[in-house]
Amino acid sequence: MLQSAAGLDDEIAKGTTVIELLDRLRERKVGSIRIACTHGLFAGGAVDRLGSQSDVAEIVCTNTVPVPVVAPGSKLRVLSIAPALAEAMRRIHDGESVSALFDAP
């Protein structure tokens, strides 16, 4: 039995693909799940639908698109891309490599 797992996707709209992934993880007896995506569109109550799953510990997305207002106590955590954008702009201004931002340490 796996203690925990993460479900990753580039975009979550309605959450149906993620719900299917949750079912596959449950088949493998995963106890705790964290969901992550780059673009959290979260249409049609997707945040509430995903957050209501008892084995989902957290839903993480970036603020690349406007994120819907969620109820207090929601499992949604939004990460800002502002520092990455600022660093990319600084590098462009200073004539430095932007692609080096994505090199593995």
Q: What is the pLDDT of residues 8-23, one digit of tens each?
A: 779 999 999 999 999 9
Backbone angles phi, psi at 63, to 5 degrees: -100, 40
- Res 3: pLDDT: 76
Asked whether the predicted pLDDT for residue 94 surpasses 80, the reply is: yes
The residue to which tokens 């149906």 are assigned: 16
Q: Where does residue 36 fall: left (phi above 0), alpha (psi -120 to 50 degrees), or beta otherwise?
A: beta
pTM to 2 decimal places: 0.84
Task: Report the SS3 class of residue 89.
Answer: helix
Asked whether the predicted pLDDT for residue 48 surpasses 70, the reply is: yes
Quote the distance between the C-alpha of residue 92 and its chain's center: 27
Query: Could you tell me how many residues make up the chain?
Result: 105
Domains in the chain with CATH codes: 4-80 (3.40.50.2020)
- Res 2: pLDDT: 62
CB 7 within 8 A of CB 36: yes
